[in-house]
Amino acid sequence: MATRLSVQHVLPDSNFTCFVIPSLFSQTACEALLNTEIKNSFQKANSNYPTYYRNNDRFVIDDEALAARLFQKVKPYLPTTIEVNNAIPAENGTWQLKELNTRLRFCKYSANQYFHRHLDGVHYRSETVQSKLTFMIYLNSATEFKGGRTLFFKTKETNEIWASYIPKQGDLIVFDHNVWHEGEVLSEGEKFVLRSDILYSRTNGSSQKEPFAGHLGYIWSLLKFDDDTILSGGRDTSIKAWSIAGEEKMSLKEHRNSILSLAKINANTFISGSRDQHIIVWKDFKAIQKIRIHNALVLSLCRITDNTFASGSGDNTIHLADLNGTILQTFTGHTNWVWQVLQLNEQTIASASEDQSIKIWNKATGQQLASFTENAPVISLAFHAPTNQLISGNLHGDITIRTLNNNSSTTFKAHNGIIRTIKVINNTLATGGEDNKVKLWDFNGQLLTGLEHQNFVQSIEQLADNAIISASYDGTIRVWEI
């Protein structure tokens, strides 16, 4: 029988699972995992992740046999059951240890590379099988690099490090997905890790279904398609159509990755953009055209006419195209992700970018007409046509309201964290942020009300004159009376 190694608890004053098994894997085992083929296969992560979040290299494989062998090594040290009781009914119940996610992510960090503070996303196999713990092997030791600690924090906002761990080859760290952590920036050398997720299956729990419940994991986008139908797009690669009361009408599956953006084109047509780099045209809820005009994920879509749209992408470009996928105009000038694009009037569109700028473009010529620079990446945009005001939300949680005809602006702090979405509703602003809150403001920056999800708020739509609907990383869609 193999000798059981001693476990080192990283957060001894916490109820979170977070421990290291020192030397669980030998030097030979680590070198076999990080072989020459793997070392030569790393690619930049910035085609799938923004640079404010991470800038390291990675390589992803799916290997059932390897995952099974790794799981057998760690299984004796893992909690066999996990009890969940929180504000999201679909997650509550008793979860039984099952297996390791077969998707294995090798990560490489070089000088000036990092993975900033975050929570690891849940891997959903089904409604009753999902990951609860992160599994990470350090494939080399900190003697080969400077920096690169794994840092833990009690909250997203605090500057105080709760605990840290200095990597050592062969050590395995296991921690709860709900622990804030980061991969500290390297100052020199190279650091390698192998990461996956530990899956659990739910053995009991509520079978009662809440309104708008059905997505597995993050919900990225919402669209009120008509008076009877709400559309939502999620990390589970599905677009769901809901009644206004929250009853699921249908689930559309044509994309191969997260649905990041939705836009209505005409009375029976909408388009969807995905992390899979494709745009799909849907007519009468059937996919009629699959378009690939970008070389990275499609972050934003905007209707221009009944047959044309604008799209913003992680390839730093904006395209104006028709529903057949013919590019009519390309707008170049941004140097990083284009988070949002919207139409201002018949002649112009605006875009917001990771490069900290907002640009206004002539639709017909592609000419840049104006550019505004902020002190942080600009993630969200909205436009209030009656007052000709462009509203932006940035990485630091600031909202800036610009009056375009006189170049005046005002800025106020709105969220503790990134502002993911802004919606103009009548004469108020609805914003959603990474502080898990939905907030309503007047145009003077006066807070009218605040509402709360259990995770980042990603999208907001107006449901009725006195109601809004919001979607969150917590996997829920909520209706709020205003």
Burial class (CB in 10 A: 0-12, 13-18, 19+), 214: buried
- Do 163 and 229 reside in the same domain of the chain? no
Phi-psi region of 250 (alpha: psi -120 to 50; beta: other; left: phi over 0): beta
pLDDT at 207: 62
Question: Total structural domains in the chain?
Answer: 2
- CA distance to 104, 351, 422, 423, 433, per residue, from 383 (Å): 42, 11, 9, 8, 18
- Do 318 and 386 reside in the same domain of the chain? yes
Looking at residue 471, what DSSP letter applies? E
353 found inside a domain: yes
- CA distance to 114, 192, 193, per residue, from 162 (Å): 18, 23, 22
CA 411 from chain centre, in angstroms, equals 26
- CA distance to 148, 162, 431, per residue, from 151 (Å): 9, 8, 30
Q: How far apart are CA 315 and CA 292, in angstroms?
A: 12
Q: How far apart are CA 271 and CA 292, in angstroms?
A: 12
Give which of 467, 440, 471, 475 is closest to 458, Cα–Cα.
471
Give which of 226, 257, 271 is closest to 244, Cα–Cα.
226
207 found inside a domain: no
- Do 392 and 296 reside in the same domain of the chain? yes
- Do 263 and 122 reside in the same domain of the chain? no
- Do 24 and 78 reside in the same domain of the chain? yes
pLDDT at 465: 86
311 found inside a domain: yes
The answer to whether the CB of 83 falls within 8 A of the CB of 94 is: yes
Q: How far apart are CA 383 and CA 429, in angstroms?
A: 10
Q: How far apart are CA 26 and CA 385, in angstroms?
A: 63
157-173 tens-digit pLDDT: 899 999 999 999 999 99
- Per-residue HEC secondary structure of 333-355 comes to CCCCCEEEEEECCCCEEEEEECC
- Give the domain extent around 346: 219-481
335-371 tens-digit pLDDT: 999 999 999 999 999 999 999 999 999 999 999 999 9
442 found inside a domain: yes
212 found inside a domain: no
Q: Which of 177, 202, 227 is the last residue of a domain?
A: 202
Position with higher pLDDT, 261 vs 93: 261
Helix (H) and strand (E) counts in the chain: 3, 43
- Do 75 and 125 reside in the same domain of the chain? yes
Burial state string for 5-28 with b = 16 or more CB within 10 A and e = fewer than 16: eeeeebbeeeebbbbbbeebbeee
- Do 259 and 197 reside in the same domain of the chain? no
Q: What is the length of the chain?
A: 482
- Do 335 and 390 reside in the same domain of the chain? yes
88-138 tens-digit pLDDT: 777 889 999 999 999 999 999 999 999 999 999 999 999 899 999 999 999
192 found inside a domain: yes
Run of H or E including 99: strand 93-100
- Do 239 and 330 reside in the same domain of the chain? yes
211 found inside a domain: no
122 found inside a domain: yes
Mean pLDDT (the chain) is: 95
- Do 231 and 351 reside in the same domain of the chain? yes
